[in-house]
Amino acid sequence: MDANELHKGPTAEPVLLLPGLMCDSRVFAAQLSAFPNARAAADYTLERDLGAMAGRVIDAAPARFALLGHSMGGRVALEVIRRVPDRVTRLALLSTGVHMPTPGEAPKRYALRDLGRSEGMAALVDAWLPPMVAPDRARDPHFMAPLRAMCIEAGLARFEAQIAALLSRPEVESLLPHIACPVLVAAGSEDVWSPPAQHEAIAALLPDAHLVVVEGAGHMLPVEAPDALNDAIAAWLARPIETPYPSQGEVE
């Protein structure tokens, strides 16, 4: 059974796709093609706070929806759930994290920012992007070219806003045990930025989580392994929602 056939199962709610740092809906091209109910979430614009990004998503969202967030988009998705848990039917967290900023994180992000300021977005992206994919993908210019173009087009102002949001991110780990909806947690086996062990820990804190580790993929999971990821998404969308979600305000 392919992804489209599974998607015709019990769930018909819209699936909002939330991209990560310097990415847009192009990173979800394979998912938008495979799932008729998938759509890009509202643009984050130049918001410098994950909560404000979540607010934009909520303001443009339908009454009930599923959420799929990749990387930073996973953190935005969790902020959406924090605010309107009763409206979210299911959640997918891809290549993401729930930890607070580490001591060395800000200097690394600011070094990239400063490179962008001094040498331009192409230099910034060329330093940042290759480690985000599996090594064999990084050596494939045909694969890398559209990803590189997307990230360069994001622009320095957006990059600076998004790293400000990431560095000021709120604590979220304590929220996870209260998320009652079906959750897909997925990572690439070659992801050095958000490794599988990190996702195992996330899944262990969620009441109704299914963990998928895609062999051979790096951090850019939606484009590196679209078929394997789409199979996992289809299975997630077919899972029944057995536990009613708490009403708004019950999740602190």
Q: HEC profile for the chain?
A: CCHHHHHCCCCCCCEEEECCCCCCHHHHHHHHHHCCCEEECCCCCCCCCHHHHHHHHHHHCCCCEEEEEECHHHHHHHHHHHHCHHHEEEEEEECCCCCCCCCCHHHHHHHHHHHHHHHCHHHHHHHHCHHHCCHHHHCCHHHHHHHHHHHHHHCHHHHHHHHHHHHCCCCCHHHHHHCCCCEEEEEECCCCCCCHHHHHHHHHHCCCEEEEEECCCCCCHHHHCHHHHHHHHHHHHHCCCCCCCCCCCCCC
What's the pLDDT tens digit per position in 87-132?
A: 999 999 999 999 999 999 999 999 999 999 999 999 999 999 999 9
pLDDT tops 90 at residue 58 = yes
What's the pLDDT tens digit per position in 176-196?
A: 999 999 999 999 999 999 999
Confidence (pLDDT) at 4: 42
pTM assigned to the model? 0.92
Question: Confidence band (pLDDT; 50, 70, 90) for 242?
Answer: low
Sign of CA dihedral 83, 85, 88, 91: positive
Tokens for 213? 């580790």
What's the pLDDT tens digit per position in 127-168?
A: 999 999 999 999 999 999 999 999 999 999 999 999 999 999
Average pLDDT of the chain, as a whole number: 93
> Nearest 5°: CA angle at 26, between 35 and 116?
155
